[in-house]
Chain A
């Protein structure tokens, strides 16, 4: 039968075979292993196999003080490392009741949004490369290098109570120049990619995630906003300095790969707005609150949600009153977003599986922690 949707539909003399996509494959972003059951070129079943990047972060948290665990969140999702760092500091501060100075919140928001733009460059352009477009990949990574130059200048990672370094004059001027430059570059990307007939044909109506499927599987982030649900933790549960900025949450209704790509590009523009507003209204003041050398939260638990480039992240910290956490659980958005693949891939061609996987924009070590 043509286009069988399930394994049962495939006729008996048809050879249904399993293909190992990964763990080493040029287009699996990280070590991802997909067991694809194929009937010719049509996919019947996709089963992701994970665990190839498991480093034991949650066990490590039970062997480290809160400060010693600081490098770890950034290595979970390395593409939005500063956002995770921001979120972890926020979680511990929430548990301890530490008040962060306003200038530090602004600096955290600026670095987080720059990180979000850098991550979306990788997400959107790696998706384009999965379809075969090499030029946007090179352009996107070059623009990303400008962001990394800026962030390298200050390296203002969060610490409990604030940030480590203050903004320098160079960073301020460089960011202003970068914002103007990037606004001009968006036209280049649009001209190159958005009208390309191959890109549109391969992305439209491919891998549609409906609202029902999204609710079943707990999808968040640009993957969800491409299906018409405007859920963004920065607006629903405002944290840090986000309530003071005006920005929109772009959504698209279609739910296919093209919609998710367009959401990412639109989000980059919104992040630029946030950075501009933050630089315009940067308040003076201290950049770090007074915090004891070894942070000792009171007994209890706390769940802190924030929005990374991939979706809604949550840190669930259980404390027993000592310097070492009792349990830290990280809710990774890529874990839920990846599982949706089993639902939406069957019925597509094998090449579409690569496209769908790229459009969901998954970071594998975040899944495995």
Chain B
């Protein structure tokens, strides 16, 4: 990958769906697949890949006050045992091959959460003349959920996980519906 002088430096985004093929359903029957999806969302195991400041908020989402363990989320140290990769932090050029390798090592079905402004689009470090970073994780790997913030609150990360749950179960678990239900109960 060539990096030269002036101008914004970013890998041109390409149609990544061509490279990463959607994994086929495990079993042919729809109800069984729905059941498997429901089981899968309640034990999403992320890969601990905190790069910079957002990593602290990710760790804060894991410890006593916010506690992602009640959603079934257990962080794994190796990509071969994880479902979702949380890219938390700015991505410099030296890290690009690492991220690609880690993503390739994750077994399908796998998901990616881009946490923080830096992983979405370069964040506060993206300016005309920046030589050191890649403007966003989706220039390297396909991203499913974007969580804005610099850094986002731990509750925002938890909502991001629920959004992935919505995507996986195709709407059966729905963050918006949960919030509406809680609001209605509160009003009573």
A interface residue numbers (CB < 8 A to B) = 23-26, 30-31, 51-56, 59-60, 63, 71-72, 75, 78-79, 122, 137-139, 141-142, 145, 365, 368
Beta-carbon contact of A26 and B48 below 8 Å:
yes
A368 and B133 alpha carbons, distance in the complex (Å):
12
A72 and B59 alpha carbons, distance in the complex (Å):
22
A52 and B89 alpha carbons, distance in the complex (Å):
11
Beta-carbon contact of B133 and A23 below 8 Å:
no
Number of A-B contacts (CB under 8 A): 81
A55 and B90 alpha carbons, distance in the complex (Å):
8
* Residues in B neighbouring A78, C-beta threshold 8 A: 52-53, 56
Contact with A along B23-58 (1 / 0, CB 8 A): 000000000000000000000000111111101100
Using CB atoms, name the residue of chain A closest to B65: A145
With beta carbons under 8 angstroms apart, the residue of A24, A71, A138, A139 that contacts B49 is A24
Beta-carbon contact of A52 and B92 below 8 Å:
yes
Stretch of B10-18, B107-115, B121-129, B175-183 that contacts chain A: B121-129
Give the bracket for the number of chain B residues in contact with chain A.
20 to 34
* Residues in B neighbouring A30, C-beta threshold 8 A: 50-52, 55
Q: A25-B77, A30-B50, A142-B63 are in contact. Are A56 and B130 (CB under 8 A)?
A: yes
Beta-carbon contact of B102 and A55 below 8 Å:
no
A66 and B60 alpha carbons, distance in the complex (Å):
32
Beta-carbon contact of A23 and B125 below 8 Å:
no
Whether B94 sits at the interface, judged by CB under 8 Å, is: yes
Beta-carbon contact of B98 and A24 below 8 Å:
yes
With beta carbons under 8 angstroms apart, the residue of B77, B79, B92, B102 that contacts A51 is B92
* Residues in B neighbouring A79, C-beta threshold 8 A: 56
Which 9 pairs, one residue from A and one from B, show the smallest C-beta to C-beta distance?
Answer: A56-B132, A78-B53, A26-B77, A141-B63, A142-B64, A55-B125, A54-B92, A145-B65, A138-B64
Beta-carbon contact of B60 and A141 below 8 Å:
yes
* Residues in A neighbouring B89, C-beta threshold 8 A: 31, 53
Using CB atoms, name the residue of chain B closest to A364: B52
Beta-carbon contact of A31 and B65 below 8 Å:
no
* Minimum C-beta distance from B68 to chain A (A): 13
Beta-carbon contact of B90 and A142 below 8 Å:
no
* Residues in B neighbouring A60, C-beta threshold 8 A: 125, 127, 130
* Residues in B neighbouring A56, C-beta threshold 8 A: 125, 130-133
Beta-carbon contact of A141 and B52 below 8 Å:
no
With beta carbons under 8 angstroms apart, the residue of A23, A53, A71 that contacts B52 is A53
Whether B95 sits at the interface, judged by CB under 8 Å, is: yes
12 examples of A-B residue contacts, CB within 8 angstroms = A24-B47, A25-B77, A26-B48, A52-B95, A53-B92, A54-B94, A55-B132, A56-B130, A56-B131, A72-B124, A122-B56, A138-B63
A31 and B90 alpha carbons, distance in the complex (Å):
11
With beta carbons under 8 angstroms apart, the residue of B55, B124, B130 that contacts A71 is B124
A31 and B54 alpha carbons, distance in the complex (Å):
12
A148 and B56 alpha carbons, distance in the complex (Å):
12
A142 and B56 alpha carbons, distance in the complex (Å):
13
Using CB atoms, name the residue of chain A closest to B132: A56
* Residues in B neighbouring A23, C-beta threshold 8 A: 95, 98
